[in-house]
Amino acid sequence: MRYLEEAVTLGFDATRCNGCGLCVRVCPHAVFAMVEKRAVLADRGACIECGACAKNCEPSAISVRAGVGCAAGLLGSVLSRTEPTKASCGCSGESSGCC
């Protein structure tokens, strides 16, 4: 299933890539692929902005505004006036319910 692909904030600077391949291994939607020992963007629109690739990219070749794609969590962050990227689904050990 495809989602709203034009909204994705994923950025990739191929010149910084060191070919470690971690982005390919951590991505749950095959956004990256290895071509001749360097990463390439294979399916940018499938990105869910989980941030795993950017987190594991040592040369910082990847940028993304990571966050959870959860409407309820975002509603909660708007109502409590916090940053969307800090939006939490509220599912933590401390709170009793979700969102």
Partner 1 sequence: MTDSRCDSGSCERVAAQPLAIPRPAVEPWIAGAVDTVVGKVPVVKTSLKARDYVGSMKVRWNVRRMDYRVPPGLYAVGDPSAESPVLVSANYKLSFDRLRGAVEGRSAWLLVLDTKGVNVWCAAGKGTFGTDELVARVNSCLLERLVSHRKLVVPQLGAPGVSAPEVHRRCGFRVEYGPVRASDLPAFLDAGMKATPDMRRVRFGLWDRLVVAPVELTIGAKKAALIAASLVLLGGLGPNGYSMEGVRAVGLPSAALVLVSFVLASVLGPALLPWIPGRAFALKGAVLGVVVFACLATCGAPLGAGWLPALAWGLSIPAISSFVVMNFTGASTFTSQSGVLREMRVAVPLQIAAAALGAACWLAGLFVAGSHP
Q: Among residues 7, 35, 36, 80, which is the contact residue for partner 1, using CB under 8 A?
A: 7
Helical H segments across 10-89, by residue range: 22-26, 52-56, 71-79
In the complex, what is the shortest distance from the CB of residue 12 to partner 1, in angstroms, rounded to a whole number?
15
In the complex, what is the shortest distance from the CB of residue 30 to partner 1, in angstroms, rounded to a whole number?
7
Give me 86's structure tokens. Answer: 């800090």
E-strand spans in the chain? 11-12, 32-35, 38-41, 62-63
Which residues contribute to the site for partner 1 (CB under 8 A)? 1-5, 7-9, 22, 25-30, 46-52, 55-56, 58, 65-75, 84-85, 87-89, 91-99
